Structure 1
Amino acid sequence: MKKDTKIVNAGRKSKWTQGMVNPPVYRASTIVFDSVKEMKHAAVNRAKQVPFYGRRGTPTTFAFADAMTELEGGAGCYVYPCGTAAITSAILSFVKSGDHILMVDTAYEPTRDFCSKTLARIGVDVTYYDPMIGRDIGDLIQDNTSIVFLESPGSLTMEIQDVPGICQVAHQKNEDIVVMLDNTWASPIHFQPFEYGVDVSVQAATKYVVGHSDCMLGTATANKKCWPVLRENSYLLGQCASPDDIYLAMRGIRTLGVRLNQHQQASLKVATWLQTRPEVETVLHPALESCPGHEHFKRDFVGGNGLFSFVLKQSNPQALNAMLDGMHHFKMGFSWGGYESLILANSNIKSMRTATNWLYSTPLVRLHIGLEDVDDLIADLDAGFSRLNALL
């Protein structure tokens, strides 16, 4: 099936839908059985999407997991209550005390905190690496390296990694190394991780999969080799998600393609306009040549989205606050992927890096371009620059 047809049909097996268009919401803790034989059968097959206990999942869970597995191209998918839970559980599924992991220096801040606090406490050593390291990742791999973790593009600074190059070198060095990717930016449809050598792909489904900023959800999809380990360890960690939230994510999948098309078209128009602004030092949009790793984006991705950043030429906190405080369509918030436009400023990227030196000392502004009319969004930013300039 073509991509758009998959988006409509994924997760809609008749055993989940029972003839209805959408898989219904099954809420359950206890699953009851009429015979010892039935209960034993469920116990033996509990890893095969047979209802056994609510935390193992209901048909709502299984339908959504099927959809994500098909869209990302893996062997199985586990569902978590948020994206951070997906990241931390995936990592914990494959490390033990004394192990070493390689973590990209652009990692999502909660991922970095988990490394410095939780992993350090249990004796797992973490080395941060330059997101643009590519095939030179092999120089950092140690005998006890168990995971190489990627995030492409970086969640604030947008560097696009050489995912196939890193995967190839890591697996050549040690076939037991698990390469994980935070694939949230691309969603399940704009980058196919398993075609490029990734072992475990993590999504904050809170973002584009849900698409409406109204629930939290995470997923981790794995290849055939890693799926049994991920599945059982995530269950042992107590991870499960609400069927009501899962239903919202399943509904979000159906419009994912058309939403992303609108997001990416509008974001490119805004990004191109920002390149003409005298206040802007550089625009960090993966689809533009000014973004580090743009060549990898052109080679590996089939589309973009609404999230990108730009760097201001000057640093003046009072002027920046005046710009942000008066926005009409762009509101400030710590997420993205919904239908609404968002703006977030960070003046301290240098402090968030340990392996690489951030080139700019002026503020970085991250935008999420929503589904509003793009001309209204440009007018909002234009007015914001006027407020900024009035105080410079």
Structure 2
Amino acid sequence: MLSDVPLDLPVRPVLPELVAALRGAGAGVLVAPPGTGKTTLAPLAVADEVPGRVLVAQPRRVAARAAARRMAALLGEPLGERIGYAVRGERRTGPRTRVEVVTTGLLVRRLHRDPELAGTGAVLLDECHERQLDADLALAFAVEARAALRPDLWLLAMSATPEADRFAALLGGGGAPAPIVRASSALHPVTRIWAPPPRPVAAPGAGPVDRGLLDHVAATVRRALRECDGDVLVFLPGAGEIGAVAGRLADLRDAVAVLPLHGRQRGADQDAALRPADRRRVVLATAVAESSLTVPGVRVVVDAGLSRVARMDLARGLGALVTVGVSRAAATQRAGRAGREAPGHVYRCWSAATHERLAAQPEPEIATADLTGFALELAAWGSPDGAGLALP
């Protein structure tokens, strides 16, 4: 399958090394920054080497659909032939499908139903560095299933950040760590522009985002359109903020396409934001566009500096979504979206001094979120306390 793709991306030179590592150890870690092609080319290389289907797990539905569509386009085929996908409520696969992209939650369901993953030759866990609860479970269950039932199953964890030693140790199953293969980045230079609000804004939390910050983000988008060429990708914490900023930019719609991109949209609306247009675009996105998606034409990123994460509200004993400041690692990934195709610019809506005080990495969900569902998943697997499982 890989031989059918003429596209030369930065990850391609290391694919023979990756395949050799998987052939020797049965498991491995691929470290490749966003934009290097790991999501689209690595599954095709693995599919050439194993019998059965290759499952690629993505943390988000929009990323699963986009990855499958990209691979199918590279092969010049419609979805449902050799490349397919399955997300909640939607599936496009066929009898010839060799690579199936699924969400991590769906992979967990399949492992519960069929721990042997009959008919599957390899499992690739993409964006495992994000440490979402379903991704942690999928990794732990797949490692145990391979050790107990399917020693022939290939397991590959793919990460956009260099901290891969922990995943290598877990995939090694208590013996020698799994091999780590690294691909270098070929991103173009991105110029940083510090653009803090002119007046203080309220700190993020469980309540709504300060309107003053949303006004400033909209003003920064207008500034970016004046000062730079190309499409603009704007990072906001949620769908509500996307709608608010879109309203503030409504007067630009005759000259610029203003498109939302978030997980609550219909698939067709999400796809529209991922296709090039005949005029400049402003894509207002949540963290779905941070690492596993490619938004074509982007030369400018405007980053509000916020993300929405799951937290356990100890006072109420319930889980909740709260707005927090972005980590430095996430800010770097967001900025890199402006340098995928050409030199770009990132407007950060905070100061350089504030940047130094940000957390280095985002907190994993297992440390902050409501773990009720997580505990039930462990119990259904037969390990209520998680003892002995390869949990990151």
TM range (shorter): 0.3 to 0.5
TM-score (normalizing by structure 1)? 0.34
Greater strand content: 2
- The normalised TM-score by structure 2 is 0.34
